[in-house]
Amino acid sequence: MEINGKTKVYGIMGNPIEHSLSPLMHGMFADALGLDMVYVPFHVAEGQIETALRGAYGLNICGMNVTVPYKNAVLPYLTEVEQRAAAAGAVNTLVHDAREDKEGFIGYNTDMGGLWRAMHEEGISLKGEEVIILGAGGAGRAAAFECASSDAKKVYLLNRDAAKAEEVAAKVNEALSRYGKNCVSAMALSEYPKLLTGAEHRYIVIQCTSVGLAPKTAEAVLEDGDFYHYVKYGYDLIYTPWETKFMSLVTANGGVAYNGLKMLLYQGIDAFEMWTGCKVTKESAEKVYQAIKDKLYV
Ligand code: ATR
């Protein structure tokens, strides 16, 4: 493509950023629609996030993605944080604030919307379901908020560090109290057998810890086959490797397992559509999905 004075600039900020698939995805979305835009990976050094945001705004960068380790760190420097991102405590998408009296970006979170779109595509609904979330880090908190604010009946938030699970569950319940909801319960990871005794149903489980991520692919956050016997759908937010140990345990015990690659795709589509006002077609989404898959699993 030819870059000229009218080319719109977008990008992603993170550290490390070298392996991000977002430039490939957004480049393909833009090409399919013939949009004059570029999407650049920006490596932001530790302690430089505020400066980076000011610079991005000053340079008229139209929109940004934010990735590890800045999803939470950007919050104080935004002109506004959308409710979903505020409750999740994490922002992954920035939109140029067009209001005259504001200088900066508005923060959104398309990660979890991406997960729901991926689930929806598989025909999975949370209506009336009991959901177990493994991990109470940034991803676990966002997942807990999303499940609790949807029509899931009950959300169990399990974490190795039980105090952290308690703290996160309290925050999510507080954020949802205005809707009269209080359905998140915190537990220590080691307490999982409590969820199995007397359970007549099977759970939807969302794996939000870093356990099993390449190169440590031989690990799963819970290894007990008894647990997996109670899992009907297992979602791992990890997408390298293609099939994690968690996923193979789900499948081996009669459940259906998914990795996080579709979520990655849809969080990107949601951000792109928000920035450009254009719709990514199903064909384009499929092409991009194949391209990121080819890139990851050669
Ligand atoms: P993210 O933003 O991706 O969620 P994070 O905030 O660093 O990342 O959270 C990592 C999650 O993986 C946490 O829930 C962490 O549990 P602790 O809060 O107890 O540390 C979980 N995790 C990492 N290694 C783990 C392990 N070996 N066993 C169990 N949980 C683990």
Asked if residue 193 has a cis previous peptide bond (ω within 30° of 0), the answer is no
Q: Where are the beta strands (DSSP E) in 58-201?
A: 63-66, 80-81, 93-96, 105-108, 130-134, 154-159, 184-188
Q: Which atom of ligand 1 is nearest to the CA of 165?
A: 18
Closest residue by CA, ligand 1 atom 7: 137
Question: Which of 44, 50, 51, 38 shows the shortest CA–CA distance to 11?
Answer: 38
State the residue for tokens 């569950």: 169
Q: What is the per-residue pLDDT for 286?
A: 97
pTM for the structure as a whole: 0.94
Which residue blocks in 244-281 are alpha helix, DSSP H? 245-252, 261-276
Q: What are phi and psi of 25, to 5 degrees?
A: -60, -50
Ligand 1 centroid, distance to 138 Cα (angstroms): 9
Q: Is the shortest distance between the CB of 211 and ligand 1 below 6 Å? A: yes
Q: What is the per-residue pLDDT for 178?
A: 84
d(CA 73, CA 50): 9
Q: What is the per-residue pLDDT for 199?
A: 73
Q: Is the shortest distance between the CB of 115 and ligand 1 below 6 Å? A: no
Q: What are phi and psi of 244, to 5 degrees?
A: -80, 170
d(CA 205, CA 246): 10
Domains of the chain and CATH, by start: 8-108+263-297 (3.40.50.10860), 112-259 (3.40.50.720)
Q: What is the per-residue pLDDT for 48?
A: 98
Closest residue by CA, ligand 1 atom 26: 211
d(CA 54, CA 77): 9
Q: What is the per-residue pLDDT for 198?
A: 78
Ligand 1 centroid, distance to 83 Cα (angstroms): 24
Q: Is the shortest distance between the CB of 206 and ligand 1 below 6 Å? A: no
B/e letters for 188-221, b = 16+ CB within 10 Å, e = fewer, are bbeebeebeeeeeebbbbbbbbebbbeeeeeebb
Question: Which of 158, 134, 149 shows the shortest CA–CA distance to 234?
Answer: 134
Q: Is the shortest distance between the CB of 159 and ligand 1 below 6 Å? A: yes
CA distances from 207 to 79, 99, 246 (A): 32, 39, 8
Asked if residue 23 has a cis previous peptide bond (ω within 30° of 0), the answer is no
Q: What is the per-residue pLDDT for 180?
A: 85
Q: Is the shortest distance between the CB of 207 and ligand 1 below 6 Å? A: no
DSSP state of 124: -
pLDDT (tens place) for every residue of the chain, 298 residues total? 799 999 999 999 999 999 999 999 999 999 999 999 999 999 999 999 999 999 999 999 999 999 999 999 999 999 999 988 998 899 999 999 999 999 999 999 999 899 999 999 999 999 999 999 999 998 999 999 999 998 899 999 999 999 999 999 999 999 888 888 899 999 999 999 999 987 778 999 999 999 999 999 999 999 999 999 999 999 999 999 999 999 999 999 999 999 999 999 999 999 999 999 999 999 999 999 999 999 999 7
CA distances from 160 to 164, 189, 263 (A): 8, 5, 24
d(CA 126, CA 203): 10
Ligand 1 centroid, distance to 276 Cα (angstroms): 34
Question: Which of 39, 38, 7, 8 shows the shortest CA–CA distance to 21?
Answer: 39
Pocket test for ligand 1, best of 134, 209, 235 (most atoms within 8 A of CB): 209
Ligand 1 centroid, distance to 278 Cα (angstroms): 36
Which residue blocks in 34-93 are alpha helix, DSSP H? 49-58, 83-88
Q: Which atom of ligand 1 is nearest to the CA of 68?
A: 2
Ligand 1 centroid, distance to 211 Cα (angstroms): 7
